[in-house]
Structure 1
Amino acid sequence: MKVIVLLCCAFAVAFGASNSLWNDTDLDTLKTTVLKDYDVHVRPNNYKTATDLWVGMSVLHMEIIEATSTLETHAWIRMNWTDIKMKWDPAKFNGISNLRLSADDVWQPDLTVYNSAEDKIVDHYAKTNKIAYNTGSVLWVPTSKFKTYCSLDLKMWPFDQQKCDIKLGSWTYDAYQLKLVLADSPIELEHYYKNLEWVVVESSAKHNSRKYDCCPEPYEDITFSFTLKRRAPMYKAIAVIPTVAIVFMVLIAFWLPPDAGEKLILNGFACVLVCILLIYFTQLLPVMSAASPLIVSFYSQTLYLLAASLIISAFVINISRKKTQTALPSFIKTVFLDNFIETIFSCKVKSTGKAESTVEDGNAGSDNATQDWIRFAVIIDRIAFVVYVIIFICMGFFHLV
């Protein structure tokens, strides 16, 4: 029995010696010493002493998603605080002044994105290592991905600018326990990867303190604000340039001969083009936007004008093609024909050889009535052209300028 006990003791001593030799490094000794009886769930300060937390952000990439009215941000969040439990004397540990620790080894602030649009509102940060210094200072720079709500104003789309915020604050610690402080450079864009659609034109950070209905203590937060401007070359080619073609198609239809059926074809094709663009906008832009983009309103109103243009064209074609014995009403002839209106629009219709032959056959009255109706149709086209030009200029001024 004594022999067995001696063998067990010898094995334990040998195992302990080998284990000590395997892990006996200055870093292991330091880590074991500073983390002995360390509780990661307890704030590393006395209850009545607030922990100062310096916060900064290095932005890597930003993108606005119109369909969900959110801002997606990739960034490095810089957090620095003092942990009095992590202090040590470098002279006792072979001059080691800093130590790399895993994310779960020491206490970390519960800094949360208040306006998060994700289901998980706590796990914003990657489990990267922390750097602890002998002075008690702890530095943590985790990679982060934020998806935050952003109230979009698409009125000037596609030449719009959007202002979005990222609001960071403690979820459970009030201002008396965790005090937020802006870093010397709260926002850095040095490592920013340029977005092909959005450009950051302005950024700022602001420290806020407020009281909520739930609690009498104040809670602090840091709000990072970004103004992003949209790059519009592609959208200009897709959405803006076709407006010029559609406007010219509508106006040209009024200059075609009054009996030309191409009027209806031209206006009908313009209607189809406008409908296709409106469907495209529906797929591209959020339907529940606070303000409808001006260019969408422009196309919608243009569709109404095209419908009116189709009615005018059908009426003009009908009266110019109809061979009638009925003379043009005298009041219409007085108002529109044989006066300055016809002179301004140069709507004199020359008699054709066919008309001359009909005169010789004694049908001059019928031919004159037909010519009057054609002159009246031309005047309607010209007046509609002027009215539409004025309307399009006003629409362009209010919607596109």
Structure 2
Amino acid sequence: MYALRISPGISVELASCAVQFRIMETVWKLVVLLCYCFSINFNIPVAAQSESQTASDSYDYTHQWYAKLFLDLYYNTDFNKAVPPLQNGPVNVQLGFSLKDIYFFDERNKIATIYGWFEQHWTDIRIHWDPAAYNGTDRITIDSDKVWLPDIVLMDSGTVTENVDADVLVSSTGRMSRYFFLKITTVCNMDFKFFPYDKQVCSLKFSSWHHNGFVINPTQSVSTVDLSSFYPSTDFKLVQAIATRHVLKYECCPEPFIDITYRLHLERVSSAYSVKLVLPAALTGFLILATFLLPPASYEKITLCGFIFIALLLQLIYLHDIVPASGDTILGDYFAFALFVDFFATISAVVSYHMHARSASTKKSSNVMEIDDGDLKPELEHNRKRKFLQYVDFICFAVFGIVFVVGLAIILGRRG
């Protein structure tokens, strides 16, 4: 093999170049290290400052403006929540009612339980601000016990349970809005004359309790009740719900008294009562008519009249359990009249049967012994009475038939 030989001068030069290269490499590493250190020292504060500025720009200070607005409203203004905000006239209070559910009807006591949303809108001239001074805040929510509230209550006899802690939404112009849930237990003047095809009207009268029309002027937002969230009842069908404003004046006082009355027109769901009451009443009426077609002296007539009398009593008791004692109904009058007719038919059948039994015994004894013409008088008298009872049965059949047809036509006509 061959070996490479380098002169001593060349080797010294190569060693010098290697040393210089190592020095330059070391210097370059130091420069890179210094640049890295300087980049950390300068970039971290800039990044931190940028993130802080971004967080500051996106942070919401709305609650601070709410607090400042609240303090300015109640500590820098002359405000008294016990005094109505009057200015050149009464306070116009706009009312609205949204019916939710007719929960329960106590027909014996004529009490209805109603659920719904109630709203009030008015303007308080003492509460206003410039939204630009509060970062564009144009409305605020305030507790109801910190502002003046209109004393609008239910004037009809009954009780009202409401969400008294409902907040008030206040705009920068002083427009106040309050929404709260109501549970109303009120007395309705119900008419049961055409039960079970009756139609009822339940009124809810709202007015100011302490103030007349010169202080508070109630108005309605619309002429009808909001039924968008109404849940239909199983007992009554809501036909119509309207709102009416009344202005009443009395001779004693020059001030007007204003109220908003909501009238709920209801119609009973009568399908169940048609099967439980109307159909049995009609069938029982046909049976009463059938009794007058039987012979007056038949024993079966007495038995049938007795069963009909018991059936009428049971139906009348069931009707009394549903309708209050003060409720005068056509169906109740029909049952009472049918009881009287059935009782008269029973007495007539008993008397006729008794006379027929005596006539049969007299005829049997006359077959044993000889009788003269005078002995025929009791039998002739019996025949005359029997014909009279037949005429009575016919008259009762005609009268009860007319009453039965007319009463049935009235009830079914009311249904239609």
2-structure distance, mates of 1:263, 1:377: 18
Unaligned runs of 5+ in 2: 1-60, 411-416
Mark the CA change 1:32 to 1:23 in structure 2 (over 3 Å): closer, same or farther.
farther
Structure 2 counterparts to residues 96-175 of structure 1, below 5 A: 96-118=137-159, 124=162, 126-175=164-213
Deviation at 1:255, TM superposition (A): 4.2
2-structure distance, mates of 1:272, 1:223: 47
CA contact (8 A) 1:253 1:263 kept: yes
The structure having more radius of gyration, on CA atoms, is 2
2-structure distance, mates of 1:96, 1:157: 58
Q: Secondary structure at the match of 1:179?
A: strand
The farther-off stretch of 53-62 and 179-188 is: 179-188
Residue aligning to 1:299 = 335
Deviation at 1:124, TM superposition (A): 5.0
Q: Secondary structure at the match of 1:142?
A: strand
CA contact (8 A) 1:167 1:224 kept: yes
Mark the CA change 1:73 to 1:326 in structure 2 (over 3 Å): closer, same or farther.
same
Q: What code does the residue aligned with 2:270 have? A: A
Asked if 1:51 corresponds to 2:91, the answer is: yes
Q: Secondary structure at the match of 2:109?
A: coil
Residue aligning to 2:44 = none
Q: State TM-score, norm by structure 1.
A: 0.75
Deviation at 1:260, TM superposition (A): 4.1
Mark the CA change 1:203 to 1:260 in structure 2 (over 3 Å): closer, same or farther.
same
Q: Render the CA deviation track for 1:100-142: whole Å, top value 9, x for unaligned.
A: 2222221110001111323xx7x65543222111121111121
Deviation at 1:301, TM superposition (A): 0.7
Deviation at 1:300, TM superposition (A): 0.5
Q: What code does the residue aligned with 1:54 have? A: Q
Q: Secondary structure at the match of 2:254?
A: coil
Q: Render the CA deviation track for 1:8-32: whole Å, top value 9, x for unaligned.
A: xxxxxxxxxxxxxx99622222223
1-structure distance, mates of 2:101, 2:396: 46
CA contact (8 A) 1:258 1:316 kept: yes
Mark the CA change 1:257 to 1:393 in structure 2 (over 3 Å): closer, same or farther.
closer
CA contact (8 A) 1:59 1:75 kept: yes
Mark the CA change 1:72 to 1:212 in structure 2 (over 3 Å): closer, same or farther.
farther
Q: Render the CA deviation track for 1:27-86: whole Å, top value 9, x for unaligned.
A: 22222332336432221234x532111112111123543222334322211211111232
2-structure distance, mates of 1:251, 1:377: 22
CA contact (8 A) 1:201 1:227 kept: yes
Mark the CA change 1:95 to 1:68 in structure 2 (over 3 Å): closer, same or farther.
same
Asked if 1:209 corresponds to 2:247, the answer is: yes
> Runs of at least 4 residues of structure 1 off by over 6 A?
368-378
Mark the CA change 1:71 to 1:84 in structure 2 (over 3 Å): closer, same or farther.
same
Mark the CA change 1:370 to 1:239 in structure 2 (over 3 Å): closer, same or farther.
farther
1-structure distance, mates of 2:360, 2:116: 78
1-structure distance, mates of 2:179, 2:227: 15
Deviation at 1:309, TM superposition (A): 0.7
CA contact (8 A) 2:119 2:180 kept: yes
Residue aligning to 1:335 = none
2-structure distance, mates of 1:127, 1:93: 27
Unaligned runs of 5+ in 1: 1-21, 328-354
The farther-off stretch of 379-388 and 80-89 is: 379-388
Residue aligning to 2:42 = none
Residue of 349, 354, 358 corresponding to 1:322: 358
Name whichever structure is richer in helix by fraction: 2
Residue of 396, 399, 412 corresponding to 1:391: 399
1-structure distance, mates of 2:123, 2:63: 28
CA contact (8 A) 2:155 2:205 kept: yes
Residue aligning to 1:69 = 110
1-structure distance, mates of 2:165, 2:385: 78
Asked if 1:27 corresponds to 2:66, the answer is: yes
Residue aligning to 2:127 = 86
CA contact (8 A) 1:251 1:385 kept: no
Q: What code does the residue aligned with 2:322 have? A: L
Mark the CA change 1:286 to 1:247 in structure 2 (over 3 Å): closer, same or farther.
same
RMSD between aligned residues: 3.4
Residue aligning to 1:241 = 279
Identity %: 23
Residue aligning to 1:9 = none
2-structure distance, mates of 1:56, 1:24: 31
Q: State TM-score, norm by structure 2.
A: 0.72
Mark the CA change 1:49 to 1:216 in structure 2 (over 3 Å): closer, same or farther.
same
Mark the CA change 1:297 to 1:129 in structure 2 (over 3 Å): closer, same or farther.
same
Deviation at 1:372, TM superposition (A): 7.9
Residue aligning to 1:200 = 238
CA contact (8 A) 1:54 1:182 kept: yes
Mark the CA change 1:98 to 1:24 in structure 2 (over 3 Å): closer, same or farther.
closer
Q: What code does the residue aligned with 2:339 have? A: L
Equivalent residues, number: 345
Q: Secondary structure at the match of 2:353?
A: helix
Q: What code does the residue aligned with 2:240 have? A: E
The farther-off stretch of 371-380 and 96-105 is: 371-380
